[in-house]
């Protein structure tokens, strides 16, 4: 993770837009990995499921 951030800093000096895009991708991948770990530990499917709301 630290290495990824160091690379993003160097990219940011040359192309700030690319650096921001890479940062957003890294963040969303981190969220997905954490979600998968929690779901896997509970024995649940790792996908996001849409369910109907009672009402």
pLDDT tens-digit map of 26-38: 778 878 888 788 8
Quickly list DSSP for 1-55.
Answer: -HHHHHHHHHHHHH-HHHHHHHHHHHHHHHHHHHHHHHHHHHT--SS----PPP-
- For residue 29, the model assigns a pLDDT of 80
Handedness of CA 51, 25, 20, 1 (dihedral sign): positive
Cβ-proximal residues to 4 (8 Å cutoff; 6+ apart), any chain? 26
- For residue 9, the model assigns a pLDDT of 83
- For residue 53, the model assigns a pLDDT of 60
Q: CA dihedral defined by 37, 39, 41, 43, rounded to 10 degrees?
A: -140
pLDDT digits over 1-55, tens only? 688 778 878 888 888 888 888 778 877 887 888 878 887 777 776 666 666 665 5
């Amino acid at each position: 993770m630290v290495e990824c951030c160091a690379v993003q800093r160097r990219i940011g000096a040359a192309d700030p837009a690319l650096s921001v895009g890479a940062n957003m991708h890294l963040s969303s991948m981190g969220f997905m990995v954490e979600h998968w770990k929690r779901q896997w530990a509970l024995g649940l499917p790792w996908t996001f499921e849409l369910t109907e709301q009672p009402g």
